[in-house]
Amino acid sequence: MRALFVTVLLTSLALAKEAPAPARVTLVVVGAQAARVERAMADIKDMPVELNLGHLPNLPVLADLADARSASELAALLAAARRQYVNGDFAGCIHSLSSETLVVELLGDGRRELAARAAFWQIACRVGSGAMPGAHELARQFAVRALELPADVAAATPEVESLLARALKETAALRKTTLDVEAPLLRARVSVDGRRGVCVTPCAIDLAPGDHVIAVDADGVLSASRIVRVGETRGSARFETTPASPEIAAQQWTTRYGATALLYSEPSTRLLAQAIAARRLVLVNVEGEGALRLRGTLATDGTVRAQVERACTPATLDAESKKLLRELLVTGKVFEPAKPIYKRAVFWVPLAVAVAAAAISAGIAGALSPNVHTRFGF
């Protein structure tokens, strides 16, 4: 009896220790029936999971509007510089475009056309004012970065066009040098002088000797750009990256994946999890009207662990939603279905210990029992 009591006690303690803390999971549902699916999934009570409802980033095109404002302001600035050049106000033209970082910043942002226009008028205004050493240096940089002549080149004198033509010819005759670009993130996108997607890290690029604007960009990090001087021998450039804030990650996700067929891809899910600060993310989409299709993705720490699809009707949507969520969580190893007690090690181990203890106790008792002899006499 005592052994049985000990077995029950040990089993109860083991089962109590086995109960895990609820896993926190963020649930995002999109589609016409999103609210209904959320309610159905939130109604599941028999899973050790704490569901938190999340939402896709709902950002207006503020970043695009800001870019448009910036582009219009730059266009107005360049138009003013052109007018000053045409009117012979070369000093005013140089002053208007006096920022030393203007072209570099535009190239770092990937706006090559605006950068080429700004560089062109910086050169033209210096040629007009007679500042030829500065004009020659800017023309050389223009050629090294392989910028294209803007459409309004005809507004400048032939001397400006001739200077640029010579610089382009001299640069084309130079032997290119290899630059190795590295970053902590594998397959970060590399831009060179405003040309996006030249390669992904780690990579090697052949460039004309001179100063180039190299930028590195990847999902979930802040883009980094700087001037890299390429010499006559092979060189390297390493870029350190900084994790983006949830707000920046949300902007990146909206721009790159929000309205595309890549919504359920691993890069999209990883970036979305960062944008809404979710370690475990379940993303579910409800498609169709009469015949519905549920599609779910589970990502943990930015890695897709499970993907499940189910077909259903409006009448079976609630039940199928619950099944889909359970399958995602089990397949993704967020939790394991509870086994019957008799199938668990915590049941058999204490029982085996109790049986062994009972057998040992019986053996010891038998060995220590007195040797009794009964004698009868008549």
Residues 308 and 270 in one domain: yes
In a domain, 300, yes or no: yes
Per-residue confidence (pLDDT) for residue 273, from 0 to 100: 94
In a domain, 280, yes or no: yes
Helix, strand, coil shares of the chain, percent, nearest 5, are: 50, 20, 30
In a domain, 338, yes or no: no
Residues 67 and 147 in one domain: yes
Going across the sheet that includes 280-287, the strands are 49-53, 23-31, 280-287, 292-300, 303-312
Q: Of 331, 350, 366, at which residue does a domain stop? A: 331
Mean pLDDT within 73-99: 93
Please name which of 183, 278, 186 lies closest in space to residue 237, comparing C-alpha atoms: 183
In a domain, 118, yes or no: yes
Q: What is the CATH number of the domain that holds 219?
A: 2.60.40.1120
In a domain, 151, yes or no: yes
Can you count the helices (H) and strands (E) in the chain?
Answer: 12, 12
| Residues in CB range of 333: below 8 A, 6 or more apart | 305
128-166: pLDDT as tens digits? 999 999 999 999 999 999 999 998 888 999 999 999 999
Per cent of the chain over pLDDT 70 is 81
Structure tokens that stand for 141 in this block: 């940089």
Residues 165 and 183 in one domain: no
Tally of domains in the chain:
3
Q: Of 136, 157, 172, at which residue does a domain stop? A: 172
Answer yes or no: is pLDDT of 364 > 70: no
Residues 308 and 208 in one domain: no
Structure tokens that stand for 316 in this block: 């079976």
Per-residue confidence (pLDDT) for residue 15, from 0 to 100: 46
Per-residue confidence (pLDDT) for residue 312, from 0 to 100: 95
> How do 189-192 and 280-287 pair as beta strands?
unpaired
278-325: pLDDT as tens digits? 999 999 999 888 899 999 999 999 889 999 999 999 999 999 999 999
Structure tokens that stand for 250 in this block: 């949300």
Q: Is 234 helix (H, G, I), strand (E, B) or coil?
A: coil
Answer yes or no: is pLDDT of 84 > 90: yes
Give helix 2-18 / helix 345-368 axis angle, nearest 10°: 160
In a domain, 367, yes or no: no
Residues 30 and 51 in one domain: yes
Per-residue confidence (pLDDT) for residue 196, from 0 to 100: 95
Q: What are the C-alpha distances in Å from 292 to residues 129, 213, 310?
A: 71, 50, 8
Answer yes or no: is pLDDT of 98 > 80: yes
- Domain with 28 in it: 21-56+258-331
Structure tokens that stand for 84 in this block: 């000053």
9-28: pLDDT as tens digits? 555 555 445 556 789 999 99
Residues 79 and 163 in one domain: yes
Residues 211 and 274 in one domain: no
Look over the chain and give the mean of its residue pLDDT values, rounded to a whole number.
Answer: 85
How far, in Å, CA of 196 to CA of 306, rounded?
A: 33
How far, in Å, CA of 229 to CA of 9, rounded?
A: 74
Per-residue confidence at 72, pLDDT binned at 50, 70, 90? confident
342-358: pLDDT as tens digits? 455 544 555 455 555 55
Residues 78 and 167 in one domain: yes
Residues 49 and 69 in one domain: no
Residues 142 and 90 in one domain: yes
Please name which of 144, 198, 203, 141 lies closest in space to residue 178, comparing C-alpha atoms: 203
In a domain, 362, yes or no: no
- Neighbouring C-beta atoms of residue 373, cutoff 10 Å: 5
Answer yes or no: is pLDDT of 8 > 90: no
In a domain, 16, yes or no: no
The amino acid that residue 93 corresponds to is: C
How far, in Å, CA of 339 to CA of 155, rounded?
A: 82
Q: What is the CATH number of the domain that holds 277?
A: 3.40.50
Residues 145 and 224 in one domain: no
Residues 168 and 66 in one domain: yes
CB-based burial, 243-268: b 16+ in 10 Å, e otherwise: ebeeebbbbbbbeebbeeeebbeebb
